[in-house]
Amino acid sequence: MANDKIILAGLEFYAHHGCHPAEAELGQPFILDIELVLDLSPAGKTDDLKATINYDAVYRLVRTIVTEGRFHLLEALAETVAQKILVSFPVEEVMVRIKKPRAPLPGTIAYAGVEIRRRRKSTDFPGGYSKGR
């Protein structure tokens, strides 16, 4: 497994996720960090975008999921993002961290959040991804 990563940090979207009716009605910001684990040496050697993952495409996919979907739990949102990335891009592993800075809690808090890591299964990427590229 590669130790290389593409990192997208601090992706902020306004969305309507949460269990409370006010969260669904009013919405709030969500901040995501995404790490894509894959071998970046082909791109490093060739300086060719085709040898890596275009992070603009990852950003657009994540934005669509977060802003157009509706989830009660951050866990479900994170799982959906991770699984869509695994089936859409040739990554070995993905980490998704979601921060909810306006979580409806009775005290002062920087954010509530979740972080998950998911690894590729051999059937995840139908495009024929192989580690050797």
| Exposure letters 110-122 (e unless 16+ CB within 10 A, then b) | eeebbeeebebee
What is the Cα–Cα distance from 104 to 55, expressed in whole angstroms? 32
100 is catalytic: yes
Q: Which of 45, 50, 99, 100 is catalytic?
A: 100
Closest CA to 12 of 113, 100, 115, 105: 100
Structure tokens given for 133: 């590229």
Structure tokens given for 96: 């998704």
Q: Please give the torsion angle defined by the CA atoms of residues 46, 47, 53 and 57, in that order, rounded to the nearest 10 degrees.
A: -150
What is the Cα–Cα distance from 69 to 86, expressed in whole angstroms? 18
Supply the residues annotated as catalytic: 100
